[in-house]
Amino acid sequence: MSPQVRIVLKRAALLAIDFVSVCLAPLYWLWGFLPSSKRVCVLAYHKTTPEASARRDEWNVHPERFKHQIALLKRMGFEVMSASQLVKAMDDWGSLPRRVVSITFDDGYHNNFAHAFPALKEAKMPATFFLASAYLDQEAGFPWQRELVEQRPFTRREIGAMRAEGIEFFSHSHSHADFSKMSKSEMKRDLRASVEALKPVIGGGPHAGFACPFGVWGPAADSLIQVLKEENFAWAFLGRWGLVKANSTRYDLPRLTIYGGDGTLVFLSKIIGSFEWLGIVHYAWHRIRSRAAGGD
Ligand SMILES: [Zn+2]
């Protein structure tokens, strides 16, 4: 299959997924009035730059669109909790408000400091950032993203300014390597390096939470959960899609990524929960792939 055909097919599949989820949204919205249906959407963002060259980058949400999404959350009466606040609140699920979301960011791009942070600060919303700790302060940029000025990693000073406004930071690994290809001892080495690097920057407890780069499924996820427990991490996002429920596993909490092309209807469908069916398909697909790769 030629690359062009693959791109067209991928776009068509994504459009179909968005269409089905948006059509299901009114049903999920009604279902949301039942107390037993309470679920929390944890949004996962990456870049937020207005740079023209990032316009076609699906991982980049334009700052104006981000501001609009923040305003929508406010207008709809959602309470925003940081990831650690949410995990704490899971102990008393019944007392959680009906409409809660959590806002998270992966990697730690300067453009989040420049564009997302001011919007969060103005709206007085907490957020959680997961940092690839080997790259803090590196002017050369992340190894996978060297070409754009705004996509360089956070500086320690920027992190300090955000912490002063109630933003929390945790580990997104040290090297941002693929944990599905690591042995347990390699996972352990990377996590320890991350904790060591983050300790002086974000103070005590940098290893409470973790978000895994790329995601892990099957036996690799089981190994990583074991290692996280041994290294005293308390909760993690491993790459599972979906919404957090009362019985969600603390070490494999689901999130939903917000992509640059997500319009208002898709964003609303994600926070209402009508993309949840996709999480089941996504998880099954990765389990099958990890089994085919020799796991399980
Ligand atoms: Zn990442």
**Residue 107: its H or E element:** strand 100-107
pLDDT for 296: 43
pLDDT range class, residue 204, cuts 50, 70, 90: low
Task: For 1-63, give the DSSP string.
Answer: --HHHHHHHHHHHHHHHHHHHHHHHHHHHHHTTSGGG--BEEEEE-B----GGGTT-TTB--H
Q: If you measure from the C-alpha of residue 18 to the centroid of ligand 1, how many angstroms do you get, rounded to a whole number? A: 23
Q: If you measure from the C-alpha of residue 46 to the centroid of ligand 1, how many angstroms do you get, rounded to a whole number? A: 8
Q: If you measure from the C-alpha of residue 39 to the centroid of ligand 1, how many angstroms do you get, rounded to a whole number? A: 25
Q: If you measure from the C-alpha of residue 27 to the centroid of ligand 1, how many angstroms do you get, rounded to a whole number? A: 33
Does 85 or 56 have the greater pLDDT score? Answer: 85
Question: Cα 158 vs. chain centroid, distance in angstroms?
Answer: 20
Distance, CA of 51 to CA of 60 (rounded, Å): 10
pLDDT for 55: 80
Q: If you measure from the C-alpha of residue 107 to the centroid of ligand 1, how many angstroms do you get, rounded to a whole number? A: 5
Name the residue among 12, 29, 78, 46 with its Cα closest to residue 258.
46
Q: If you measure from the C-alpha of residue 215 to the centroid of ligand 1, how many angstroms do you get, rounded to a whole number? A: 9
pLDDT at 119 > cutoff 80:
yes
CATH superfamily of 3-294: Glycoside hydrolase/deacetylase (3.20.20.370)
Q: If you measure from the C-alpha of residue 45 to the centroid of ligand 1, how many angstroms do you get, rounded to a whole number? A: 10
Q: If you measure from the C-alpha of residue 173 to the centroid of ligand 1, how many angstroms do you get, rounded to a whole number? A: 9
Span between the terminal Cα atoms of the chain, in Å: 30
Distances (CA, A) of 153 to 145, 166, 175, 236: 10, 20, 13, 22
Q: If you measure from the C-alpha of residue 176 to the centroid of ligand 1, how many angstroms do you get, rounded to a whole number? A: 6
Look at the pTM and tell me if it is higher than 0.75: yes
**For residues 253 and 235, is the Cβ–Cβ distance under 8 A?**
yes
Relative to beta strand 128-131, strand 100-107 is: parallel
pLDDT range class, residue 190, cuts 50, 70, 90: very high
Q: If you measure from the C-alpha of residue 57 to the centroid of ligand 1, how many angstroms do you get, rounded to a whole number? A: 14
Least confident piece of the model among 48-52, 185-189, 228-232: 48-52
State the residue for tokens 């989820």: 21
| Domain positions in the chain | 3-294
* Average of per-residue pLDDT across 179-193: 95
